[in-house]
Amino acid sequence: MPSRPTIAVTRWIPDEALKVLREAGEVTVSREDRPLTRDELHEFVAGASAVVGMLHDRLDGGLAAAAGPGLRVVSTVAVGYDNIDVPALTGRGVVVTNTPGVLTDATADLAFGLLLAVTRRLGEGERLLRGRTPWSFHLGFLLGSGLQGKTLGVVGLGQIGQAVARRARGFGMEIAYSGRRRADAGVERALGARHLPVDELLATADVVSLHCPLTPDTHHLIDAAALRSMKRAAFLVNTTRGPVVDESALADALEAGEIAGAALDVFEKEPEIEARLLDRNDVVLTPHLGSATVETRTAMAVLAARNVASVLAGNGPLTEVPA
């Protein structure tokens, strides 16, 4: 009787996903409650037929070599795959998959929550109360910025960008967007969205929300020059990937009053954060919570597991990353 495929899971995943994997092969889950070092990762995947990885794992040719010639599929529990050297893996005949679609609404909810928190100074107000600071209501107390009639500039009008734009429309905002490709005319009509070059969007939007993938072209897309081009009353929201924003330049811009505030769920050197951002009242920070609902994280893990099971069964991937 042939041996069952071996599946290496680099960190805890929900039981629902483990059930799918255990039906497909012999499963080993890392016992470390932290990202594995490169050497630890390579040792852990040795001999694996499949690897289920996380966004902090470097999944590349070195990993494939460590796993050996039996590696058939690498499945990341994420939409973005900037941590994966796709050509290096596919060049070895390894299928690469991700988990698009299932986290759209959760991430859009979080992005809009950050938008509200930074524009209405919610975090600052909560810290004031928790710090037992004396206060009293008056007409000038903790004034924020309203959204009605303001322009939301969406950088990257994919599924998540569109979902954020729909929420913004409900708050009476106007929508502008930029991206590598223009959206379908039907999408533009439904959102009332105007397509602008990114430099024009940055210069005119009241809130800029980032939803583009991390690529060499978008690394530090929001740098010192981009921040200087924004309105002084504008806000920046980032729920995509940390390195899209130059955090040091952002701290400089906030110190200089070049923009009004920022809200970040992802960070350039995650989990490290630019120290100058931590004590600023015009900054809202959350620890990569975009997809952090029970329902969404479970759906992501199950889709990653189903991709593995499908490839190992010889049926091909469900959501393959393009080579």
Which residues are catalytic, by number? 241, 270, 288
User: 208-236 burial string, b = 16+ CB within 10 Å, else e?
Assistant: bbbbbbbeeebeebbbbebbbbbbeebbb
Rounded distance, CA 78 to CA 279, Å? Answer: 30
Classify residue 272 by its DSSP letter: B
In terms of C-beta density within 10 A (0-12 exposed, 13-18 middle, 19 or more buried), how is residue 51 classed? buried
C-alpha 20/C-alpha 176 separation (Å) is 42
Cα–Cα distance between 210 and 238 in angstroms, integer?
A: 5
Q: How far apart are CA 71 and CA 242, in angstroms?
A: 30
Would you state the structure tokens that stand for residue 141, as one six-digit string? 């107390």
Q: At what angle do helices 294-312 and 15-24 cross, to 10 degrees?
A: 0
Q: Looking at the DSSP assignment, which residues form a beta bridge with residue 193?
A: 175
